[in-house]
Amino acid sequence: MRVRIINLKHSYKSGRQIIQPLKNINLELEPLQTHALVGVSGAGKSTLFHILSGIIHPEEGRIFYDDLEWTALSPDEKNHYRSLHIGIVFQNHLLLPYLTAWENLTLPLKITGKWNASSEQKAWDLLKELQLQDRAHHLASQLSGGESQRVAIARAVITEPRLILADEPTGQLDEDSAEHTITLLFNLSQRFKATLFVITHDFSIANRCQTIWRLSKGIVYCEKS
């Protein structure tokens, strides 16, 4: 999926102060490539992530996913499109604690109506690949941080999205788990032919990406291409 952001502006209130982290964002993500967005804390990376994932609506500017104008969609249309074409990985895994690993993984299939025998087999294969087959029926609250994040990544790709958005996916993991998890993320995005957009401040992760974008003082520029 090709992503184009044109003249994106956004501000929010913090107490009495108005903060404008995104002043004029213009960028284009090439399809099937891996992209990283880096920047200091408070630069507006997460705000951009939330806008791209449709959690918040920008004040100004346009976003295109291929030829579809994302910013012109209603919340429900965004919701529908996202469930079919965008996979999202959060810094905190955000698994539903009352569902098992298996149920968390397969929930998007059920919600999008893609639940059938072949998708179930695919989910099992994915779980085996993640080395989580023994933990399939454990509740999310019983999984370790690394296991939870792997399930969250699998959940993001299970519907075979064309765009994967990941916000600090290894932010809360130790070094070994982080390495394992990020490798998984890259492999899966490659296998499912998705554009990967990772927000991070870890340069070892950013350096794995084909393109690195830096967000600074409300604008984005390409640091490595």
Partner 1 sequence: MIWVTTFLSQVVFLSTQFFRLSLEEQLYQKAQKNFRSDITISQRFLFSQLLIQELARETNATNWAEEIEFFSMIKVIKVKQNVEQLVLVKAVSSNYPIRGIIKNHNQEVVSFKKDKDKNKENKPFIDIDSYLSDLLGVHPGDTLQLGNKTFFVRNLLPSDTSATFRLGQLAPLVYISIEDLPDTELVSQFSTFNHNLQLTFSHFHQMEQAKKHLLNRFKKNPEISILDSQEYGEQWLRPARWVLDFFSLFAFIGFIGSFFFLLYRHQLFIQDNLAQYFILNIFGKPLSRLAQEEVFRFGLRETLMLAVSLLSSGILVGFIQSQVFNHFVFPRWQSIIFFVSLIFFIIWLTLFFESYQIIRNLNLNQALNAFQSSILYRPALGIRYHIVRWCSYVILVSLLGASLFPAKYLWVSLLATIGGHTLLVVGCSWILAHIISKWGYQLPWSFSLPLLRIARSLSSLLVKWSVLSFMVLQVLMVFHLRTIFHREIVGDPNNAKPTVFLFDIPEEDKDSLLEWLEKRGVQALVPSPFIRARIIRHNGRPWEREMNGVDVTREQQTIQQIRSRGLNLTIRDQLTSSETATAQLPLNNFGSRLPISLEKRFAERMGLKLGDQLTIDIQNIEFDTIVYQLRTVRWNSFLPNFFAQVPSGFIDEVPKVWLAAAHIPKDQLTTIIKELRQKFPGVSLVNLEQIRMEFDQLLELLQFSFLLISAANLIAFLTVIVFVFVLTFSFRHSEWHLLNILGISRQMINRLQINEVLFFLALAILTATTFSWLLREIVQHLIHS
Residues that bind partner 1 (CB under 8 A): 53, 55, 75-76, 79-80, 82-84, 88, 94, 96-99, 103, 107-108, 110-112, 139, 155
Q: Which is nearer to partner 1, 6 or 94 (CB)?
A: 94
Closest CA to 36 of 209, 222, 217: 209
Q: How far is the CB of 219 from partner 1 (least distance, A)?
A: 27
Between CA 129 and CA 91 the distance in angstroms is 22
Taking CA atoms, 198 is separated from 41, 62, 124, 169, 177, in Å, by 15, 20, 26, 8, 17
Q: Which is nearer to partner 1, 91 or 211 (CB)?
A: 91
Q: How far is the CB of 214 from partner 1 (least distance, A)?
A: 26
Q: Which is nearer to partner 1, 104 or 189 (CB)?
A: 104
Q: How far is the CB of 111 from partner 1 (least distance, A)?
A: 5
Between CA 33 and CA 204 the distance in angstroms is 17
Q: Which is nearer to partner 1, 140 or 220 (CB)?
A: 140
Number of CB atoms found within 10 A of residue 205's CB: 24
Q: How far is the CB of 12 from partner 1 (least distance, A)?
A: 17
Phi, psi of 150 (to 5 degrees): -65, -40
Q: How far is the CB of 95 from partner 1 (least distance, A)?
A: 9
Q: How far is the CB of 225 from partner 1 (least distance, A)?
A: 30
Q: Which is nearer to partner 1, 20 or 83 (CB)?
A: 83
And the tokens for 33? 């490539």
Give strand pairing partners of 82: none
Q: Which residues have CB under 8 Å from 91's CB, separation 6+?
A: 167, 168, 169, 171, 172
Are 8 and 61 in contact by the 8 Å Cβ rule? The answer is yes
Q: Which is nearer to partner 1, 38 or 157 (CB)?
A: 157
Are 82 and 53 in contact by the 8 Å Cβ rule? The answer is yes
